[in-house]
Amino acid sequence: MSVSVRIPTILRTYTNGAAEVAGEGSTLRDVLAKLDADYPGIGARILDDSGKIRRFVNVYVGDEDVRFADGLDTATPAGVQVSVIPAVAGGC
């Protein structure tokens, strides 16, 4: 499935400054693997050494925080937007 991936400012050094890049895969896991193949090194910024989403990263598929869905197994239907967002933003 082809999807779009929104890249946060601090990871745009990997994407030559692009805020949004094309992605591919039927689950978030596949999309992130393809992203790392296209932009080597970016995967390790999003996933930790054991392959889990880092503690301070939020990933959304569409409007859903994947921690409320199926995590890395969350389905990524064609055309959906995947957003990677640093978790430390915000708060009161």
Partner 1 sequence: MALATTETPAAVDFGPASALSCRECGTRYDLGPSFACLECFGPLEIAYEFGRVTREQIAAGPTSVWRYRDLLPVPADVAAKPNLAPGWTKLVKADNLARELGLRSLHIKDDSGNPTHSFKDRVVAIALEAARNFGFHTLSCSSTGNLAGAVTAAAARAGLSACVFIPADLEEAKIVMASVYGGKLVGIEGTYDDVNRFCSELIGDPLGDKWGFVNVNLRPYYAEGSKTLAYEIAEQLGWRLPEQIVIPVASGSQLTKIDKGFRELVKLGLVEDTPVKIFGAQAAGCSPVSTAFKAGHDVVQPVKPNTIAKSLAIGNPADGPYVLDIARRTGGAIEDVDDTEVVDAIRLLARTEGIFGETAGGVTVGVLRKLVAQGALDPDAETVVLNTGDGLKTLDAVAAHARPAAVIRPSLEAFRTAVADA
Distance from C-alpha of 7 to C-alpha of 81, rounded to nearest angstrom: 11
Buried (b) or exposed (e) across 57-78, using 16+ Cβ within 10 A? bbbbbeeeebeebeebebebee
Q: Contact, 4 vs 23, CB < 8 A? A: yes
Among the residue ranges 21-29, 31-39, 72-80, 82-90, the one whose residues contact partner 1 (CB under 8 A): 82-90
Stretch 35-74: interaction string toward partner 1, x if CB under 8 A: ------x---x--------xxxxx-x--x-x-xx------
- Location of structure tokens 């055309």: 79
Question: Nearest distance from residue 61's CB to partner 1, in Å?
Answer: 13
For residue 29, what are its two tokens?
Answer: 């896991």
Cβ nearer to partner 1, comparing 14 with 26: 14
Question: By the criterion CB under 8 A, which residues form the site for partner 1?
Answer: 6, 8-10, 12-13, 19, 41, 45, 54-58, 60, 63, 65, 67-68, 83, 85-92
